[in-house]
Amino acid sequence: MFALYVVWPIGQSLALSFYQWDGLSDPTYIGWDNYIELWYDPTFLVALKNNLIWLVLYMLAVPLGLGIALLLNQTVTGIRLIKSLFFFPFVISQVVVGLVFAWFYDPNNGLLNIVLAWFGFDPVSILSDEDLVTYGIIAAGLWPQTAYCMILYLTGLNSVSPDVVEAGKIDGAQGFRMLWSVVLPQLRPATFIAVVVTVIGALRSFDLIAIMTQGGPYQQSQVLAYYMYEQALSEYGYRMGYGSAIAAVLFAIMMVYIVGFLVKMYRDERGL
């Protein structure tokens, strides 16, 4: 099953990246031409750069999630309700998140600019500003992703042994020291999962871009996943080979990241 549904399509799409194919006529073999073109394609370079920005900034979801989880990990009346409210952004669809943030950023009637106006700032149009647009979308993405990391840490915190925390207290650990040396090591499995899903989430960032900007203004918020879709499957695309080449690059980045992370985890577990 794994071979049929995972390995075979990967192999096929890698093979396709050496062809020029519009999905209708016969594919033509063109060797490395797709990859050479990628190298000179300004949009591809923008997408690659944006993917790196996504990777770095999306990681904020992990500490943010941890912070909220620690805040909510107490026994007060109604805490369950509050926990569910914090988890809410992850439950709603990415499409809805995209729409909500697009309205939030709207230069004329959006909440963001109304608030900025109170403080005397000029309105900014985040989604049509080439320098801000990627950060605007990442901020929207962080909202559900933080909730996801939070829930991972909340489950993790349940399994933190009270005995060890007690022992830490006796040894005089407090505050940050307690968190760093006592609690966090026990949360390692949760951290592992949180980082992996966040990396994958950052590299797959697609829905938000499709909803909020479609890669615009003029391709400045493009990322590899959306660019691949646009080239291979959108109205103006149908360059299957070129799309596959983009997919291959994206796949390579994911592999480097995930393999690197797995190796590190493996070493850590063996105490090397």
Partner 1 sequence: MNKNLTAIAAAALLAGTAQAGTLVINTDDQNPAPKAAFEYAIDSFKAANPDVTVEWNNFDREGYKTRIRNFLTADAPDVATWYPGNRMAPFVDAGLFMDISDVWAAEGLDTEMASTQATMTRDGKQYMIPYSYYQWGIYYRKDLFDKVGVTVPETWDELLAASATLKENGITPFTIGSKFKWTTGGWFDYLNLRSNGYEFHMDLTSGKVPYTDSRVQAVFDRWDELVGNGYFIDNHATYNWQEGMAPMVQGDAAMYLIGNFAVAPFKEAGLTEDQLGFFQFPEITKGMPMAEDAPADAFFIPAGAKNVEDAKKFMAHIASPEVQTEMNKILGQLPPSSAAQVNDDPYLNAGFKMLSNAYALAQFYDRDAPAAMAKAGMDGFQEYMVKPDRRQAILENLDRVVDRVYK
Binding residues for partner 1, rule: CB under 8 A, are: 22-25, 37, 40, 42, 106-108, 125, 127-128, 130, 213-214, 216-219, 233, 235-239
The CB-of-124 to partner 1 minimum distance in angstroms stands at: 9
The CB-of-239 to partner 1 minimum distance in angstroms stands at: 7
For partner 1, the closer of residues 108 and 158 by Cβ is: 108
The CB-of-186 to partner 1 minimum distance in angstroms stands at: 47
Which helix (H) or strand (E) segment holds residue 242: the answer is helix 240-269
The CB-of-139 to partner 1 minimum distance in angstroms stands at: 16
For partner 1, the closer of residues 73 and 128 by Cβ is: 128
Which helix (H) or strand (E) segment holds residue 29: the answer is strand 28-29
Q: 57-95 burial, b if ≥16 CB within 10 A, otherwise e? A: bbbbbbebbbebbeebbeeeeeeeeebeebbebbeeebe
For partner 1, the closer of residues 168 and 237 by Cβ is: 237
Query: Could you give the CA distance from residue 252 to residue 128 in angstroms, rounded to a whole number?
Result: 31
Provide DSSP, 174-218.
-HHHHIIIIIHHHTHHHHHHHHHHHHHHHHH--HHHHHHTTT-ST
Alpha helices per DSSP H over 19-161: 33-40, 42-58, 61-72, 79-91, 94-105, 111-118, 133-158
For partner 1, the closer of residues 73 and 125 by Cβ is: 125
For partner 1, the closer of residues 21 and 54 by Cβ is: 21
The CB-of-242 to partner 1 minimum distance in angstroms stands at: 9
